[in-house]
A and B are shown apart, each in its own frame.
Chain A
Amino acid sequence: MKAFTLLFFISLPLFAGMNHGGMIMDDSGMIMNHNPDVLPKDCPKISKDVDITIHAGHQYTKGFAGKMFTYDKRDWQVPGCARVNVTFINEDDIRHQFMIHGLPGYMYPKGMFTIEIYGKGQKTASFIVPSRDYTYYIHCEVSQHTEKGMKAQLKVGEGSGDLDSILGLTAALTPDIYPINNTQITWVSLLISFVVGVVFILYLGNILRIKLS
């Protein structure tokens, strides 16, 4: 009993909370599937320790009109078998998440690693990625946060392409349609280029016909 208690506290040196099956919780947030040491099957050892700091909040949508929440950086790249130590900083007074999907299910239940912070604050936790080249999906899934900008990607190795609708990086899969602000210049330039096209082909034709005859 004593040994168990000791083990329990040793395993959580950083977090003054409780661990329920991969979940570390306290009154400021929650970390799920924190993994600083278990290696994926395909990794003989940790290739590199990568520290990344991610800020989340409304303020980072500056420059992205029409969006509401996002991360300060939305595109990350690490080598295969890297240990990623994420410091997640929530700058808003509401809840945000750093949630990554697609990790191996045999060591990350449901394939997820998550840091969630209930208000302004920060937490650090780690996960180890497998060796294959793959692009992992990161988002905050508080209702409509992903859709309104809080979405990012983590490329391991070369990655497997870019995800859709990442602010400043990729277009939406189902983009909004906006009207075009046509002016007289639109129609004049269309007309002029049309006339130029006609004249050009007739001029070319004349040269050709002279050659033919």
Chain B
Amino acid sequence: MSHKRFYYRLIPVVFLLIALAIWQQADFFQRAAGIHLPKGVTPEFKQVLKIDKPCVDLHPEWRLAQNIDGVKMAESRLCEPDNPYDIAAFVLGMNNISMPTLMSTHIAEDALIKSDDLDGDGDPDIIHIKLEVLELNGATPDSPSVFPQYEIAPGIMPGMWAFSPKLRGMSVKNFRSQKPNAILRAPSPVIRVEQGDKVYITLENTHYFPHTIHFHGVDHAFKTSKGGDNDGVPVTGEKAVMPGKTRTYELQPRHAGTMLYHCHVQTDKHLMMGLVGMFVVEENRPDNWVQTFNVGAGHVRYSSAAIKEKYQREYDLHYQSIDKNLAKTIQQSNDTREISKQMHRVYNMSESNENYFLLNGHSFPYTLRDALIIAKPDENIKLRVANTQHSSIAVHIHGHKATITDYDGVEQNPMAQITRDVFHLAAAQRLDLNLQTTNDGLHSYGEGVWLFHDHVETAVANDGMSPGGNIALMVYENMLTEMGLPELRSDALDDLFSNRYYAKKQVLWGKKEAGTFAPNTLQLILFGLLLGIIVGLIFFIGRGLMRAD
């Protein structure tokens, strides 16, 4: 009996020890700083550090002004200029180029046929165009990564779509490469035709989902001459063009200007995926061969006759945004039923964000390679700006004020034209600008490396990591290197071309981040001992009481 009382007396000791343990409990997972803060750590990065060259300089010879099959094209001093053989093919049509030129392109022979000078003014008036639908950074059952790997910025590969001129041959750079060749890229190419041309555009649906083409602002009849769908809207016209099928749309635009074309199937998603491009109708002039495609938009190496009358250079600026969650829907399965479900039913556009912002298919710093505006003093530069994002853009060019000459492809009365330094474009709007480089304190403040970017600040970052997004540069020729890059401080681009920076692993303005505290081992041991004593004591009391009975 007395034994039992001894064990009962030990019970309060257990409670006392538990209280002590709670009071003394070790800070297992976090601890408040005392006098000293943690020493700091350099963040670890699991991926191999990869630093791109700002310019790979694959084809320096492409930069020169040249004459291919009689097509005299302007020089293009960009790091990545357009392939001049492509330009010749796009100006003449695949039916009018030489065999060596054809062999230097990746374009199918029936992609662009130009014929019949109907009005006898020296240029072809019947234009047959064939478009395909390509996918960038899609899922592949053969690798955990994506294919083909199209980086919009270092290490960033969101799933995207684009229209493209009908291609031939390999889609990758070479048989070892995972990267698409230069034609397979975002955005959908700018299409240029001449006012009054009879244009036949055939959508060859090479993709695994149905699509159509709708011509936005481009003069076209509601139905084709044969009574077929000509507006691209499945609700009002024919059903969408199914995978493996084709449809031809007919246009004979009477009005010139900067317009758009886009897919009208599940438009919210398909447009944001990239099935939207600029469509430019050039004014009718004699002997006016136009560059039918401007792949990747940007510098127009062969401007139309009407543009050459007034301008020294011409650039197409296609602004585009991506929701990373929408982009992901094509990267997680190779079952088209599942992709369709994820994209069209699970993903909800009304809850979307825009995470990536592209100018001409790239985000900064890759915009340095092909989206520069290159200028000389005392020039008039034609900028055609299109906003295909769902948010508005407010483009600002440092050091310059440009004049808005056209709104949505309609010329503004010259007396009422506005010169300003922020250009606002709501979704799908286009502006034509005359960027004058006269150093008069109004139109230009002189030569330099001037940033130009959307001033909606979400858009100057890559998924929130700045600088990125649609930032690009306007560079005067005297500050441009041989390789087509701007003259910058030697370390200006060091961090930006590494895959670490946009993965948000690079510490800014220092080497270390706060990091963690080391565990307090003595406290841990004392706490462990205390717990052991409590458990041992409970066991001891329990066993003692049972035996005492």
Contacts and interface: CB of A to CB of B under 8 A. Distances in A.
Contacts of A199: 532, 536
A200 B531 CA distance: 12
B521 interface: yes
Interface stretch (A16-24, A92-100, A175-183): A175-183
Contact of A198 (B37, B514, B532): B532
B34 A175 contact: yes
A50 interface: no
A189 B528 CA distance: 8
B33 A186 contact: no
Contacts of B529: 193-194, 196-197, 200
B247 to A, nearest CB: 58
A193 B527 CA distance: 8
A193 B525 contact: yes
Contact of A176 (B32, B35, B537): B32
Contact of B532 (A172, A185, A189, A193): A193
A197 B531 contact: yes
A198 B512 CA distance: 42
B524 A193 contact: yes
A197 B32 contact: no
B27 interface: yes
B526 interface: yes
B38 A65 contact: yes
B47 interface: no
A114 B6 CA distance: 69
A178 B512 contact: no
Most-contacted residue by chain B among A170, A176, A193 (CB, 10 A)? A193
Nearest to B537: A201
A38 interface: no
A interface residue count range (under 10 / 10 to 19 / 20 to 34 / 35 or more): 35 or more
B528 A202 contact: no
Contacts of A52: none
A178 B528 contact: no
Interface residues of B, number: 41
B35 A201 contact: no
A124 B524 CA distance: 52
- Most chain A CB inside 10 Å of its own CB: which residue of B32, B40, B518, B528: B528
B3 interface: yes
Interface in A44-75: 64-67
A35 to B, nearest CB: 34
Contacts of B524: 186, 189-190, 193
Given A189-B524, A194-B529, A201-B536, A178 B39 contact: no
Contacts of B519: 180-183, 185-186
A195 B532 contact: yes
A175 B521 contact: no
19 contacts: A66-B37, A168-B35, A171-B32, A175-B32, A177-B30, A178-B32, A178-B33, A180-B29, A180-B30, A180-B519, A186-B519, A186-B524, A189-B528, A196-B529, A197-B533, A199-B532, A202-B540, A205-B536, A205-B544
Interface of B: 3, 6, 27-40, 512, 514-519, 521, 524-537, 539-540, 544
Given A67-B37, A178-B32, 20 more contacts: A65-B40, A66-B40, A66-B514, A175-B32, A175-B33, A175-B34, A177-B31, A177-B33, A178-B514, A179-B30, A179-B517, A180-B30, A181-B519, A185-B521, A192-B525, A195-B532, A197-B528, A197-B533, A198-B535, A199-B532
